[in-house]
Amino acid sequence: MKKIKDNLIEPKEADFIKAFYWENSSLFILDQRKLPLKEIYYKANTLKKVRYSIKEMLVRGAPAIGIVTAIGVYIGLKEAQSKLTFPLAKKNLLSLFVRIEKSLSSARPTAVNLFWALKRMKGVFQGFINKIPEGNLGQRAFEELLKSLQKEALSIWEEDILANFKMGEYGSNLLPEGGILTHCNTGALATGGYGTALGVIRRAYEKGKKIFIWVDETRPFLQGARLTAWELSKLKIPYKIITDNSAGYLMKKGKVRAIIVGADRIASNGDTANKIGTYSLSVLAKEHGIPFYIAAPSSTFDLTLASGEGIPVEVRNEKEVLTCKRKLIAPAGAQAMNLAFDVTPAENITAIITEKGIIVPPFSQNILNVLKNG
């Protein structure tokens, strides 16, 4: 597999839309619920506000959730600092970290990047306090701990941007010219600043490929119509929004040359959890002989799971289905099932594009090979 040198795809500030930014120890999050009509940043300067921004989908997309979670760990400890008495017993600090961890981990259960980010932050935390004698964590040591955690969180962010660029470089060579269909939002808004599946599309367009994007509206939260279309408009990439149930007919008519989507969790056999509706697209793609690609960073793989059967599928509030822009669109008293994700079986996937390389079937073997050696 051909390697991509980091210096060939050096990220630049002008290259990405800011889904969030960091300033004066506060995280400012672009409230995606208000896009595309308003661009408003929410100041998430407390643990409660960070958790709210994740749970209520001000920020969404697995990589972005991971980054915000990592920063949330730092914010939670920083917020608690003024209430602590020093010197601080290690057991009390551990208890505080566990409370922060539990608060963030319960916000969104399907996106594995959230738990991956928590694990990385916990590793830095644990490594630091293991060097501190029992009951002897002073104010200065706590400040050093905060610096270490902030550095790790920002490193996760930087790594994600670089991973996006690498995925774009690898995946752009796979995409044919013509109609490309995508589902949900996988661009700068869902990541550290460039995009996974939309990053691949973007890189292909930058290389001069003549592509046209079919944007699934993505009911019920309309991430396609509101967010992907917004990003494509800013990038000046040609597109049209379609209703989700138009996709099959477009495939039959030869209007779709390839499908590319993101992922929220990938099992060790290649089964992939993504936004609800992805499974249906994969079945239609298989029926019509259309390549079906997943683009996701290595942090999205959950190698503890043998298959997608073990992936938890989030069920969200039924109001998201029964209303649109807070207006009721169903009979009063109607009930709804609001599954946020589904799981696409590995046999329906043509290839998985990662920052470490392109993974092709058999996934059970090649996932480990690429993630280890890429």
Which pLDDT value is given to residue 292? Answer: 98
Render pLDDT for 258-307 as a digit per residue (tens, 0 to 9). Answer: 999 999 999 999 999 999 999 999 999 999 999 999 999 999 999 999 99
Render pLDDT for 300-341 as a digit per residue (tens, 0 to 9). Answer: 999 999 999 999 999 999 999 999 888 999 999 999 999 999
CA neighbor of 4 nearest in space, from 222, 224, 203: 203
Separation CA 243–CA 215 (nearest Å): 8
Q: Helix, strand or coil for residue 8?
A: helix
Q: Is 372 annotated as a binding residue?
A: no
Residue 137: pLDDT band by 50, 70, 90 thresholds?
A: confident
| E-only strand ranges, the chain | 20-23, 26-30, 41-44, 178-182, 211-216, 239-242, 258-261, 265-267, 272-275, 292-295, 301-302, 323-324, 327-328, 341-344, 351-354, 357-359
Amino acid letter, residue 59:
V
Which pLDDT value is given to residue 134? Answer: 67
Distances (CA, A) of 34 to 38, 57, 58, 222: 5, 11, 9, 11
Entry pTM: 0.90
Render pLDDT for 141-166 as a digit per residue (tens, 0 to 9). Answer: 999 999 999 999 999 999 999 999 99
Q: Catalytic residues, which ones?
A: 264
Which pLDDT value is given to residue 10? Answer: 43
Q: Is 223 annotated as a binding residue?
A: yes
The mean pLDDT of 27-48, rounded to a whole number, is: 94
- As a whole number, the mean pLDDT across the chain is 92
pLDDT(15) > 60: no
The mean pLDDT of 94-121, rounded to a whole number, is: 94
Q: Is 32 annotated as a binding residue?
A: no
Separation CA 174–CA 275 (nearest Å): 22
**Which backbone phi and psi does 8 adopt, to 5 degrees?**
-80, -15
Which pLDDT value is given to residue 164? Answer: 94
**Which backbone phi and psi does 36 adopt, to 5 degrees?**
-90, 5
Residue 135: pLDDT band by 50, 70, 90 thresholds?
A: low
Which pLDDT value is given to residue 9? Answer: 42
Q: Which residue has the tokens 């660029």?
A: 165
Q: Is 140 annotated as a binding residue?
A: no
Q: Is 51 annotated as a binding residue?
A: no
Which pLDDT value is given to residue 16? Answer: 56
- Full set of structural domains in the chain with CATH: 6-164 (1.20.120.420), 171-373 (3.40.50.10470)
The mean pLDDT of 46-75, rounded to a whole number, is: 95
Which pLDDT value is given to residue 111? Answer: 81
Render pLDDT for 50-64 as a digit per residue (tens, 0 to 9). Answer: 999 999 999 999 899
